[in-house]
Amino acid sequence: MYRDSVLVSFSPVTGDPVGEVPVHDPSSLGQVIKSARKAQIEWSVLHKKKRLALLQNLLSLMTERAEDLCALVSKETGKPLVEAMNTDVMASLTTIDYCIGWLKRHPDEMEIHLGGFHTMMRYLGRRSYVRYRPLGVIGVIAPFNFPLAIPFSQTIMAVTSGNAVVVKPSANTPVIGHMIETLFKDAGFPGGLVRAVSGKGIGKALGASPVDRIVFTGSTEAGRNVMISAAQRLTPVTLELGGKDPMIVLEDADIERAASGAMWGSFVNSGQVCVGVKRILVHKEVYSHFLDVLLYKTESLKQGDGLEDPDVSVGAMIDDEAVANMEDQVRRAQEQGGKVMAGGKRTPGLSGSFFMPTVITGLSTTSDLWKEETFGPVVMVTAFEDELEAVRMANDSPFALSASVWTKNTDKGKIIASAIRSGTVVVNNCLYTYGLPSTPWGGSGESGFGRTHGQWGMMELMEPHHVHVDSGKFPRDIWWTPYDKGSLDANRKLIDGLFRKKGLGKALSLLDIRKYLKGGGSD
C-alpha cells in the first residue's frame, strides 16, 4: 500500500504491517542509473582479490543474518519459516559460494583456436583472444514468490561478472527486496553499485530505461510488456516467465516417494512457484494407487502461520486477490467436468489469505486448468496409456520451463527426459535445481528465453570483446592491394596449404606464403 512517500508491506497471514520502503518517481530513475554506472566503473577496475574479499564478506554477513532474513521473508510472504530458509536464504548463500568459485576460475582472457587457420596464423605471428567484459548496468525486475532468492541470485551473478544492478522488487514484498541493497552496502561494496527502487510505474520505467540488460521474472503477460518496452532501446532481455510443469509417474515408480514429491512440488510456497508441479501424469496401472496416496498425504498437511508454528507445511498466499484467482480457476474446472478430490476452497478457520491444497481429476487437455498457468496450490491428476502418450501430454502446453520423470529405471528416465520440451527435467525429484546455481535456469515458449545461473547465465551478463594481434613482422599481407599475379598465386597456395595438401606439401606451401609476405614474391 502506498502511503505518502513510502510503500508499506503487510503480512498476508496477520494483516499487520511488516515494514516500509521509500518510493521513487519514475523521473528519478535516470539519476539512479547514472549513479550505478559510476559505481560500476569503480567496481570493474577493482583487483580480483579485493572483489573476492568483498564477496566473502557478503557470504559471511548473510550467514550471520540468516535467521533474521528467514523471519523477514516469512513475514512478508506468508511462507513457513523452513521454506524461507531453504528456498530463499539457502539458495542465496549457495549462489554467493558459486560466484566466489567462478570468479577464482574465470580467466582474464581466453585464446581462440582459429580452426584450420590456427597453425598458419601462429606461424605468421598472429593470435586472437577474447575478454568477457561486463555489460554495465543490469535491471532486475523480480516477483514476490521468492523475494530474496530470485533477485539476489540474479544480482550477485551480475555483480560478480562486473556489473552494477538496479533491482525493482515486487510491490508485495518490497522490504526484503530493499534489504538486498542494504546487504551489499554493509558488506563494503561501492556505494550505488546495487540499488533497489520501488514506486508506481517504476517497473515500466526500468524496462524502458537506458540499462544494458533487463532480467525479468514474472508472468508471461508482464514479460511481453517488458520486452516491448526494452525493444524501443534495443535493450537485450532475459525472461523467466510462467510454467505449467508436468510430472510423469511411470508404472515402475516408487509410488510413496513420488506422491511425497508431488505433494511438495504442488504445494510448496502455497503453489506460487513458476516451476511448481501443476500437471501430474500417472500410468494407468498405478493411477488409483498414486491418487489414494497423494490424497492421504495432502489431507494431512497443516496450514497456518509457519513463522510461529514449525508444524505448518502450507502457508498463506500473497494476498486475497491470489486466493480469488484460485477460486475462479477451481470453479471453471468444475464447470468443465473436473472433480475436486481435496481442497478447492479458502481454508476454513484461518483469517489470512489461505487456500486449501487442492487436487482435481477428470479434466481433459482442452480444459482451462490444463492450458493456463496456475499460481497457487491447485494440481490436476490424469492417467496415461504408455510412455509415448505421457511425453505427448507433457509437451502439450505453450509453457516449457521444467518437468520431472519418476521411475526406478533412471536410464529410462533420462531417455524420456530428453524428449520433454523444457529448460530443465529432473528424474525422481522436482523444482529444487534453482538452488543449484551452477546449473542453467530458464525455459522456452511462453516460459520465456535466456538463462540465469551457471556459466550460461554469466555469459548473458557480459559481452565477448575480441582482440586480434598481428606481430607486424611482415611488410604486407596476402590479401592486401595492389593485386598482381604474385598475390593471386599466393592465395592459391593458401588454399592448397589449408585444404588440399598435408604433411610436407602443407609445410612447403606455408613457407612459400611466408616468402611472399616478406616481399620475395611467389614462385
C-alpha cell read off for 425: 527435467
Query: How far out from the chain centre does Cα 64 lie?
Result: 26
Three-class DSSP category at 381: strand
Whether residue 6 contacts residue 21, with contact meaning beta carbons closer than 8 Å, is answered with yes
Please report where in the chains the cell 490424469 appears, as a residue: 382
CA terminus-to-terminus distance, the chain: 83
**Could you tell me the CA-to-CA distances from 178 to 238, 316, 512 in Å, in that order?**
22, 22, 66
Residue 223 phi, psi dihedral angles, 5° rounding: -65, -40
Going through 169-312 in order, the beta strands assigned E by DSSP cover 194-196, 213-217, 237-240, 245-249, 277-283
Residue 496, C-beta contacts closer than 8 angstroms, at least 6 positions apart = 505, 509
What tens digit of pLDDT does each residue of 27-71 get?
999 999 999 999 999 999 999 999 999 999 999 999 999 999 999
* Residue 31 CB burial class (10 angstroms; 0-12, 13-18, ≥19): exposed
Q: Evaluate whether 278 touches 244 at the Cβ level (below 8 Å).
A: yes
**Which residue numbers are catalytic?**
240, 274
For the cut 90, the answer to whether the pLDDT of residue 178 exceeds it is yes
Q: Alpha-carbon distance 140 to 193, whole Å? A: 13
Which backbone phi and psi does 408 adopt, to 5 degrees? -80, -15
DSSP-assigned beta bridge partners for residue 427:
405
Give the CA diameter of the chain: 96
**Percent of the chain beyond pLDDT 90?**
90
Cell representation of residue 53: 574479499
If one compares 248 and 495, the residue with the highest pLDDT of the two is 248
Rounded average pLDDT over 464-486 = 93
What's the length of the chain? Answer: 523
417 pLDDT higher than 70:
yes
- When mean pLDDT is compared across 13-22, 198-207, 221-230, 497-506, the lowest value belongs to 497-506
Q: What is the pLDDT of residue 521?
A: 57
pLDDT above 80 for 520: no
Global pTM reads 0.94
Q: What is the pLDDT of residues 287-324, one digit of tens each?
A: 999 999 999 999 999 999 999 999 999 999 999 999 99
* Helix, strand and coil in the chain, % to nearest 5: 45, 20, 35
Residue 180 CB neighbours (<10 A): 24
The whole-angstrom separation of Cα 516 and Cα 523 is: 9
pLDDT 10s digits, 10-32: 999 999 999 999 999 999 999 99
Classify residue 13 as exposed, middle or buried by CB count within 10 Å of its CB (0-12, 13-18, 19+): buried
- Let me know: does 436 contact 97? Beta carbons within 8 Å: no
* Torsion angle of the four alpha carbons 455, 459, 462, 463, in this order, in degrees rounded to the nearest 10: 140
pLDDT digits (tens, 9 = 90+) for 347-366: 999 999 999 999 999 999 99
86: pLDDT strictly greater than 60: yes
Average pLDDT over residues 84-107: 97
Collapsed DSSP state (helix, strand, coil) of residue 475 = coil
Cα–Cα distance for residue pair 294/36, rounded to 1 Å: 50
| Residues whose CB is less than 8 angstroms from the CB of residue 301 and which lie 6 or more positions away in sequence, other chains included | 263, 267, 313, 314, 357
CB 326 within 8 A of CB 317: yes
Is the alpha carbon torsion for 215, 217, 223, 226 positive or negative?
negative
**Backbone angles phi and psi of 229, in degrees to 5:** -65, -45
- 78 backbone dihedrals φ, ψ, rounded to 5°: 90, 0
Backbone angles phi, psi at 321, to 5 degrees: -65, -40
CA 249 to chain centre: 26
With a pLDDT cut of 70, the percent of the chain lying above it is 99
Please enumerate in sequence order all residues whose Cβ is within 8 A of that of 486, keeping only pairs 6 or more positions apart, or say none: 516, 521, 522
Question: For residue 281, what is its C-alpha cell?
Answer: 501424469
Q: Which spans in 78-211 are helix H?
A: 81-83, 90-105, 118-123, 149-160, 174-186, 202-207
